[in-house]
Each structure stands twice: as C-alpha cells, then as structure tokens.
Amino acid sequence: MINHTQINNQQFAAYIDGQWHKAKHTITSLNPADLTDIVGVFGEADKGLVSDAAAAARRAFRTWARTPAPVRAGIVQNFGRLVENNKEALARVVTREIGKPLKEALGSVQEVIDTVNFFVSEGRRLYGQTIPSEMPNKELFTYRRPIGVFGCITACNFPVAVPAWYFIPALVAGNTCVWKPSEDALLTSYWFTELWARAGLPHGVFNTVLGSGPGTGAAFVELIEEGAFDKIGFTGSTAIGRKIGEVCGRALQTPCLELGGKNPMVVCPDADLELAVDGALFSGFGTAGQRCTSLGNLIIHSQIHDAFVEKLVNKAKNMRIGDPFNSDVTYGPLISQRFLHNHLEHLSTLIESKHELPLGKGGHIGHGAEWPHFSGNAKNGVYARPNIVLNVSMADRIYSTETFGPLFNVLKYHEFDEAMAMANNHGYGLSSAIYTNDPRTVYQFKTEITAGMSSINNTTTGAEAHLPFGGNGKSGNGGRQSGIWVLDQFTKWHAINWDLSGKLQLAQMDTHYVEPDLNFKIQS
C-alpha cells in the first residue's frame, strides 16, 4: 500500500531499467494548502540520466514489441488492479501535493482505472486488415506496428489521469516509454511509477525522469533532436507546445500535443438557466480553473444577460474555498506558488478600467484579498479568490489569453452568428459548451464550432476514457487521446504485399481489367 513516509527525502531523480537513481541537485515538493508541509524532496535528473532512460527504453523495445499484445495488455490490467487497490491513498497524495479537492482527485484516479478497463481488451483488437488484390494468387495485409521509444512530458493538474491516457495505449501497442512528469507532482509521479513497476513490466519498458521544466525538460527536448525518441507526447502550454512541435518537425516526427484553451460556453435564451449557472461555475472554478478545458468565455444572449449574471454572481458568492480535504469546498489552493504568481499577473495586466468584477477585487486570499466562505490556511496556503470579469469584448486581451486560474469572462451577444464568432475567434479550439433546448441551434453550434470537443447542456470540462480528447488551433495539432482513436498516435501502419503466383506480376501494368463495349447505345 502507498505510504509516502517511505520515500521522503530520498532524492530519487530517475527510474531507469528497473532501478531508482539519485541526483545531487534537489527539488522540494510543497503542499500548496500549507507551504510549511514538505511533501517530499527529490533529485533533478540531468541530461545524462534522461539519455540513460531513453537508452534503456531503446534496449527494451525489441523484446517488448515482440511480446504478444494480449500479454502486454495483461500487465496493463495488473496496473489497473493495483491502482484500484490504492485508489483512496493515491487520491490523497494528489490532494496533498497539488491541492485538488479530494472528490476530484478520486475522480482522476478513477479515470486511470476506466482507461485500463477500456484498453485491456484492445490488446486483443489491434486489428489490421486483409485486402483483396487486383492480381490473382496475391494477398495484401495491413498491420499496426509499435512506433518505438515514446517520450512524454505531462502537466501537473491531472498528474495521474493524463499520463494514463498516454502510457496505457502506448504500452498495449508495444512501445517503450520515458516520462518526464511535472515538478509540481513529484510524489504522485513516484507512486505512479512504482505501481507500473509492481504490475510486472519488464525492466526498461517504463522509465521516469524527475525534474524541472528548464532543467530536465530542456534536456528532454534536446534529446529529441538527437534521435533519442521516436514519438513525443506533450501536455502543457501552447508556447512550449510550439517549441516542441518545431523540434519534432525537424526530426520528421508528428508529436501528440495537448495544449491550452480559452473554452467558450454559449447560453441561449431558451436555456435552463439554473442548470447553466451550475455548469458555468463548475466549468470556471473546478480545480480552481486550472484545467485546460476550464471555462474561458461565457457568452450570454442579451435577453437573459442581466438575469443570468445576477444568478451566477449570487451563487458564486456562496462557494466555499479552502482545505481540499474538506468535502464541501468548490476548490482548494492553486497548484503551486508559480501558478499563483501567474494568476496575480493576469489580474494586474489584463483587467481594464471598463471591466467590472462583481465578486470583488484582489487575488491572494489572506494577502490583500478575502473570501467570506473560506476554511483554509490563509497565511501559508496558495489560495486565490474567484473572479468573474464583465463587459469583455473580443478586442480585449483577456478575451484571447488563457488565464489558467479561478477567472472567466462574460460576453454579451445579440445574434447567434455573433455568439459563434465569440466562441471561435480567440484561436484556441479545445473544448466548448452550449446551453439550449432548440435542436436547430445545437446543430448550428456543433457544425460551426472549431473546438475538438463540445458539450450540450453540460460543462466544458470532463472526459470519458472511450471518447477522443484533444483540440485544434492553438489547443493542439489535431492529435487525440483516449478511445480507439489514440491508437493512431502509438502505431504505424505496415502494408504487406505477398505474391504467391511464382512469377513477376506488376500492379497497374499486368492487371487484366475487362473493357466495356463503348459502342453500345440505348435506343429511345
């Protein structure tokens, strides 16, 4: 069972070829609800350790790729059983380390279990095809083949669910892996790695390198250009995603990029307003607004704008913020001090004089800002008050800037075409939502929206293990995670042309097509 005291202050920096390695330079993981609580001290992997991890994965690839897919899936199933057996303990580590409310953390761990349950059967369904040939005594086949060494960098807001989306299908498909998790979720990442090790993966198949983005992450990117990886996955900011995409392009690779969002929610005059208010509040403030699918722009019809905003603000004022282990909180602290710093900077640089803040001003609770329903450690915690910004237009910087915190905008529209422009023109294309009971409006929305995902009468957030997840534009390069579609990220098609005729047959040249009688005419 998971017990964090076993590894505290061990300075583990990398899990390579079945062993943990230490490093001289360290990173300390702090509890954002109480920065005096040291969650763990870990080492920072340098380029040498990252290179060693990639080399171990390369050595293990040949044997792992030849392991029958159902056997590979059986080991993944073992991992799922271990996660399920440790569900609450792992969720409590997530809550303590990144401040995600325990209910949400339990949901994140359940997402891992769901993903395992879906992909275990894909080990028996990595189907190819048998294709008829235009030649006699000839057979054509296609096979899915693993790509090779998969290198992956993930973010901190979903430190177990998102890695599971990547690694479960990657391993079932026969790839070996090197993982660089976020420096804000080091203890969580340690346990995630240990669960894979205890599941029975052969040494070298799954490797982990811990460290910061500027340190370990930069070394990771350097090694892409040096040919250490055959496939890259990245979840994080659009700015870093662009850099990784450039490097992969030079290496003639197509990365799987899951980036930021400025996710719109349109509320129509015929919507269930109470339902839409609840959806907007969770979309905007779930995980303290630190989801790539969090609400960015709430787009409300002018007929209901004032009444809806009044309901929204009144309900928001009753939200409880504080200790993430309390069952009644809407959200806990921000993930770390750097996320608070970025949030405060957005408040100071993006809010204009014309904007209204109906929930009040200020950002850091207990440090110049207050919240009436607060139950956390204001002195030592990284807590931010919620913000709703009114009077926003498409010309404002805040309209098209991902803020990644407890903040969203409100825009007013008159005609539906105007609402669609507001929903699309920021350039992101991850998630979206609409509240309406008119099927024709739903049809127009789902036809014209540029986002990769849309919800009807539901939140902008939330994903299921068997539905594709991913975005377009500034939100990604079209790759998808989850569901059967993700297999296209982790396999390459292999075409087989098997001639049994015993003679040379040339396609298109020796094909005996039958010609029609083109002189035939119908007599009318």
Can you tell me whether residue 31 is helix, strand or coil?
Answer: strand
Contacts of 279 (CB under 8 A, 6+ apart): 265, 433, 435, 457, 458, 459
Instruction: State CA 429 to chain mean position distance.
Output: 14
Report the candidate in 200, 391, 221, 412 with the shortest Cα–Cα distance to residue 301. 412
* Cα first-last separation, the chain: 85
pLDDT score recorded for residue 429: 96
Contacts of 112 (CB under 8 A, 6+ apart): 80, 83, 160, 161, 164
Q: Quick one: CATH architecture of 11-251?
A: 3-Layer(aba) Sandwich (3.40)
> Could you tell me the CA-to-CA distances from 134 to 36, 494, 496 in Å, in that order?
72, 19, 14
- Residue-level pLDDT, tens digit, the chain, 524 residues: 555 555 656 789 999 999 999 999 999 999 999 999 999 999 999 999 999 999 999 999 999 999 999 999 999 999 999 999 999 999 999 999 999 999 999 999 999 999 999 999 999 999 999 999 999 999 999 999 999 999 999 999 999 999 999 999 999 999 999 999 999 999 999 999 999 999 999 999 999 999 999 999 999 999 999 999 999 999 999 999 999 999 999 999 999 999 999 999 999 999 999 999 999 999 999 999 999 999 999 999 999 999 999 999 999 999 999 999 999 999 999 999 999 999 999 999 999 999 999 998 879 999 999 999 999 999 999 999 999 999 999 999 999 999 999 999 999 999 999 999 999 999 999 999 999 999 999 999 999 999 999 999 999 998 888 999 999 999 999 889 998 999 999 999 999 999 999 999 999 998 989 999 999 999 98
Distance CA(109)–CA(106), nearest Å, equals: 5
Contact 383, 321 (CB under 8 A): yes
- Sign of the alpha-carbon dihedral angle for 474, 477, 478, 482: negative
Alpha helices (runs of H) in 449-502, residue ranges in sequence order:
487-490
Distance CA(94)–CA(79), nearest Å, equals: 18
Distance CA(378)–CA(384), nearest Å, equals: 10
E-strand ranges in 181-289 read 206-209, 231-235, 256-258, 263-267
Distance CA(17)–CA(10), nearest Å, equals: 19
What CATH number has the domain spanning 263-465?
A: 3.40.309.10
pLDDT score recorded for residue 220: 95
Using CB atoms within 10 Å of the CB of residue 18, give its burial: 0 to 12 exposed, 13 to 18 middle, 19+ buried.
middle
Distance CA(294)–CA(282), nearest Å, equals: 8
pLDDT score recorded for residue 361: 83
Phi, psi of 178, rounded to the nearest 5 degrees? -130, 125
- Rounded to two decimals, the pTM is 0.94
What are the residue numbers of the active site?
Answer: 258, 292
pLDDT score recorded for residue 521: 93
pLDDT score recorded for residue 465: 85
Question: What is the chain's percent helix, strand, coil content, to nearest 5?
Answer: 40, 20, 40
Q: Which residues pair with 228 in a beta bridge?
A: none
R_g over Cα of the chain: 26
Phi, psi of 455, rounded to the nearest 5 degrees? -120, 140
pLDDT score recorded for residue 91: 98
Question: Tokens 């010609």, residue?
Answer: 515
Report the candidate in 121, 126, 156, 128 with the shortest Cα–Cα distance to residue 142. 128
Distance CA(464)–CA(374), nearest Å, equals: 32
Contacts of 454 (CB under 8 A, 6+ apart): 431, 432, 433, 434, 445, 446
> Could you tell me the CA-to-CA distances from 214 to 72, 180, 255, 481 in Å, in that order?
34, 12, 20, 26
Q: Kindly list the domain boundaries of the chain, sorted by start residue.
A: 11-251, 263-465
